[in-house]
Chain A
Amino acid sequence: MTQARMISDEDFRKFREFFYRKTGMLFEDSKRYFVDKRLLERMDATDSESFRAYFTMVRFQASGEELQTLINAMTVNETYFFREEYQFRCLVDSMLEEIVTHTRQQRALRIWSVPSSSGEEPYGIAIYLLEHWPRLDDWDIEIVSSDIDTEILNQARRGRYTHRSIQNLPPSLLAKYFRRDGDHYLIDQELREAVDFTRVNVSDAADMRRHRHFDIIFCRNLLIYFDDLSRKQTAESFYDALNPGGFICLGHSESMSRISSLFRVRKFPEAIVYQKPWEAR
């Protein structure tokens, strides 16, 4: 028998600060139960004697493996196909149109879905473009899909979804782009191959530097987990990940006007989005 393991108030505070510094995610006191439960599970799984022993491993393990597993356990991955569909309408009817009009040289247009969670968002964007953007005949589009959670990224690569995920999809699109697989729906091979999946921590400068030259970023329902400073820092990194004139779409409860002044508010008929000025340097 191992002795009962506990997480003291002091442990919780230390862990919260560390995790916040690493990921930008800030756990309020009200999340104490959620955090403790996952920490205790991981301490069990790793046979750690005490919180202290476990915490030391998380911080100093050379491979970073346990930190990653812990991150995977702490993330909230809730998402579904065609969530906030009006933004996709805005993408094809307004944002891409403006970018195409300003772009003289023929080049691939780049879209970044971050965080993508299990892939419903980037695949949904791909389907929407195929269905609703006639200029796809003239332009190449690249979609990059990123998340901090390696387990959820693997799930995204597999492209296998439950009924809950696809509820919002019109049946015609479900029939066209998915195949039944028992209780699940498997997305087309072609779509899976069209999306590039990468592991990204938006709070890590080196990760962010590798992701550049995007025309549109979807960053929905991530910043709600951050504090003000991490939100601002992330918005500033996105600024440099975008081409001039590039757009950011946030979740419906998130607003750039309380985060950073680097972007312009753009009102389109379908949605309000944020733009890096065309003249930005």
Chain B
Amino acid sequence: MKRILVIDDAATVRLYHRSILEELGFEVSEAVNGLEALERVAEGDFDLYLVDINMPKLDGYGFLRELRGKDMPQAPAIMVSTEAGANDQKLAFLSGANLYIVKPVRPERLASHVLTLLGMTSNGRGAPS
């Protein structure tokens, strides 16, 4: 089963993302900030990261920069932002994000992005393994 790490300091947002992703058959882990996410990464591998930008201790950019600097197999990351600002978007890609989406997140959009990034079909056939 593919594993996804959801990183956000808001409990409700983590729950929301979890419910969408579990519906699709993924295994979901959570972290409340970038540092805790790095601890999770140290404990085990993930197939995809869903990363909030503004978080205490270590924000989403900082997390991705640390992650991308690690000598390990790299999984895709989706940056989730509250702002559509061009500057944020640029920073997100420079930090190592593969995709940038703006809150509020719609379940069907998130699902199709995740499935695409993981190289799975997003047309409802072929359940994720």
Contacts and interface: CB of A to CB of B under 8 A. Distances in A.
A and B touch in the complex (CB under 8 A): yes
Interface in B21-44: 32-33, 35-36, 38-39, 42-43
Contact of B33 (A257, A264, A266, A272): A257
A258 B39 contact: no
A256 to B, nearest CB: 7
Given A258-B35, A261-B35, A265-B35, 7 more contacts: A255-B39, A257-B33, A257-B58, A261-B57, A261-B58, A267-B42, A267-B43
Contact of A265 (B32, B42, B62): B42
A94 interface: no
Contact of A272 (B39, B57, B62, B66): B39
B57 A260 contact: yes
Query: Which 9 pairs show the lowest CB-CB distances between chains A and B?
Result: A267-B42, A257-B35, A257-B36, A261-B57, A265-B38, A261-B58, A265-B39, A257-B39, A265-B42
A266 B39 CA distance: 8
A266 to B, nearest CB: 8
Secondary structure of the B contact surface, majority rule: helix
A270 to B, nearest CB: 13
Contacts of B33: 257-258
Contacts of B57: 257-261
Nearest to A263: B35
B9 to A, nearest CB: 11
A256 B57 CA distance: 10
Interface residues of A, number: 12
A259 B62 CA distance: 16
A272 B58 CA distance: 18
Interface string B55-85: 0011000100010000000000000000000
Contacts of A257: 33, 35-36, 38-39, 57-58
A257 B36 CA distance: 5
A47 B38 CA distance: 55
B35 A272 contact: no
Interface string A243-276: 0000000000001111111001111000010000
A266 B42 CA distance: 8
Contacts of B39: 255, 257, 265, 272
26 contacts: A255-B36, A255-B39, A257-B33, A257-B35, A257-B36, A257-B38, A257-B39, A257-B57, A258-B32, A258-B33, A258-B35, A258-B36, A259-B57, A260-B57, A261-B35, A261-B57, A261-B58, A261-B62, A264-B66, A265-B35, A265-B38, A265-B39, A265-B42, A266-B42, A267-B42, A272-B42
